[in-house]
Structure 1
Amino acid sequence: MDHLQYETKHSRDLKIKSHIFEVALTIMKEIGYDNLTVRKICEVADISTGKFYSLFKSKEELLGFYYVKALESFDDIIKENFTGMDIEEQLITFYINLCDSTAGLGLDFCRNFFNPKNEELNTTIFHNKVIETTNSYLENAIKNGLVISNGRTPFEVSNDLCVITKGVFFDWSANEGRYDMSRFMDGLLRRCLNGIL
């Protein structure tokens, strides 16, 4: 019974966190991250500041909820039927979907989340679902005969692709979102993967 209550509380808190995150994104798109306050988030989300602080330590930590939201989109992307696609197309499709979902969060979000001060982006410290997903695609391709050039491991290639992706997010943000991130990522990955696979 206690376990069931925990899951219910956990899922309820997850729904509230998701609601707060969505509200914060909407406000951020209107007034910008610098003008976003916890008080304003709570007012629009119709929650108390005490409830906010029971779920997030700060508005900066709220940005980190991106990873929880991203996991939802990863699950959707992973469920896509990649049957018949070669490994290059699988990887490109995965990363373009990731670009689309991330760009959809808005320029101000990306500018504030994908910055060097955000320790959550350090893949040597934090578990990274992007690397894990890419690694699984590559390992499956190796089982089917893929040979990665220069003796590189699937993990090394996955890490490289993750770093490239973070670089694209950062560059897109620094350029005020003036180009089509997905189209840029498509060309970049095709050039990179051509030398790896």
Structure 2
Amino acid sequence: MNLDFSQLGPYIPFLLQGIWITLKFVFVSILIGLILGTLLALCKITRHSILTWFANAYTSIFRGTPLILQLMIIFYAIPQLTGYDIPTFLAAILAFGLNSAAYVSEIIRAGIMAVDKGQVEAAEALGIPYRPMMLNIILPQAVKNILPALMNEFITLTKESAVVSTIGYLDLMRRAQIIGAQLYRNFEPLLVAGLIYWVMVVILTKLGSILERRLRASD
């Protein structure tokens, strides 16, 4: 086997910088997906048919088309249609945040529907308004039920973040490609990048397990 990791030494700091770049983009995308996904989930269970139709149409579009296509449309179409030269970071968080929101909305909707209907009826009988009922009674219980699915979505998002390298965003994957092009050896930097991705996923999985145990213990 013709492997030589010694040449990677000078490039390791450059590669490791990609960890923070990747995590920053992933965390912002997760935040966008979580907020928008929660709003979409509430729209799906509301009695207003227009909001329900919009939320379902949104989910269908973003779940029914490839993520890389959505990224390319945002990165290339916005400058073409508006003349605004969108930064790679903004294009990345918009594409991943909007895409994640579609999946998160279904997860949260399922969690809300799984909460005992008797609690909703009891809250309505006590005269509790819809918004406080959702924020203080229904959603906290739904989160405990859907946390594993949410963590799985966030882990998937972390792995799929490598797609942003296609638009030149200097994430971990893109930096590994640059190193490979300079060394004319692609396997070694890609292998190291894969190891770093795996470590990040393992850490996120452990953190999710700890958070889940604490939520279960608080019952």
Asked if TM exceeds 0.5, the reply is no
Instruction: Tell me which structure has the larger Cα radius of gyration.
Output: 2
Kindly indicate whether structure 1 or structure 2 has the higher relative contact order, using CA contacts under 8 Å at least 6 residues apart.
2
TM-score between both structures, scaled by the size of structure 2: 0.31
The structure richer in helix per residue is 2
